[in-house]
Structure 1
Amino acid sequence: MSAKGPIILIDDDEDDQFLIKNVLEELEVPNKLIIFQNGLEALHYLQHTADQPFLIFCDVNMPVMNGLELRDRIEQNEYLKQKAIPFVFVSTSGASEIVKIAYTATIQGFFKKETNFKEFTRQFKLIIEYWQCCLHPNK
């Protein structure tokens, strides 16, 4: 993890992409934001980039490859596993069964998307500040 590395957002909802981009701008987060529509696009990028991403924000429900499938594929790939990129689910679904399944995949958090901008911003601020301060094996 590099606090200066890009933030990866994987979400097929363009409204949520726009909202998260605005939240990061509001928080004056200097990291480049790279957006993918599904897990397969993100997986290809992660497998072929030399970048050390700062953080992955991922939705659960997406076409082609959902967030749970992506997380499993990252865990199975030794190169990506060694990068130890913090992986946080941010989803409109907070169903307990999905949360339980997600946590079997060694994630670093699961958050239900807040419904108003102020709370959504607060949520992202907490997550980002935590990872900016956290010790990491690749720092």
Structure 2
Amino acid sequence: MIKPGSIVLVEDDQDDKEIFEDIVRELGITNEIYWFPETTAAYQFLETTTEPVFLIFCDINMPGRNGLEFKRHIDSTPVLRRKSIPFVYFSTVARQEDIDEAYINLTIQGFFTKGTKYDDVKSLLKKIFDYWDCCRHPNSQ
């Protein structure tokens, strides 16, 4: 475990979900991982959970409400804004217009491209978790 709280993964690809979970466990991170293959259920979880959430990883291309719309919905909900949950995009696609939208109009903390090689994804996730383990933010314990 790094900091207390669950990890929320909003990802519609089952293979990517399994790779993410495998890498997180290989890194020795024992936080609970909640997986949502679409944004509506993820939003409902975030809105109703009473347990702390350490970090949200979200894909951009999602069925129904995409990752940008999902973050916009979170930001428009006062109870979720107060939770100040760190939010990063972790996506196969990184179009410049999505990156611009995410940083200029949304309150995200990172936009990362997954990569295609297991070791590259593992290295990237390690960097992300190391950063958030050291970072102070409103939910820091």
TM-score (norm: length of structure 2): 0.94
Q: Measure the CA separation in 1 of the matches of 2:26 and 2:3.
A: 18
Any unmatched runs of 5+ in structure 1?
Answer: none
Instruction: Note if 1:133 corresponds to 2:134.
Output: yes
3-state SS of 2:85 partner: coil
Q: Measure the CA separation in 2 of the matches of 1:54 and 1:131.
A: 9
TM-score (norm: length of structure 1): 0.96
CA drift of 1:138 comes to 2.3
Give 1:86's aligned residue: 86
CA drift of 1:71 comes to 0.3
- Asked if structure 1 preserves the Cα contact closer than 8 Å seen for 2:10 and 2:36, the reply is yes
Q: Measure the CA separation in 1 of the matches of 2:54 and 2:88.
A: 11
CA drift of 1:86 comes to 0.4
Give 2:75's aligned residue: 75
CA drift of 1:82 comes to 0.7
Give 1:38's aligned residue: 38
Q: Measure the CA separation in 1 of the matches of 2:114 and 2:30.
A: 22
Residues 56-85 of structure 1: per-residue CA shift (max 9 Å, x gap): 000001112211111001101111001100
Q: How does 1:1-139 map to 2 (within 5 A)?
A: 3-103=3-103, 104-139=105-140
- Asked if structure 1 preserves the Cα contact closer than 8 Å seen for 2:85 and 2:139, the reply is no
Q: Taking CA–CA contacts closer than 8 Å with sequence separation of 6 or more, which of the two structures ends up with the larger relative contact order?
A: 1
3-state SS of 2:53 partner: coil
Q: Which amino acid aligns with 1:4?
A: P
CA drift of 1:30 comes to 1.2
Any unmatched runs of 5+ in structure 2?
Answer: none
CA drift of 1:26 comes to 1.0
- Asked if structure 2 preserves the Cα contact closer than 8 Å seen for 1:39 and 1:69, the reply is no
3-state SS of 1:8 partner: strand
Q: Measure the CA separation in 1 of the matches of 2:88 and 2:28.
A: 20
- Name the count of aligned residue pairs: 138
Q: Percent identical across equivalent pairs?
A: 41
Q: Which amino acid aligns with 2:11?
A: D
Which runs of 4 or more aligned residues in structure 1 lie more than 4 Å from their structure 2 counterparts after TM superposition? none
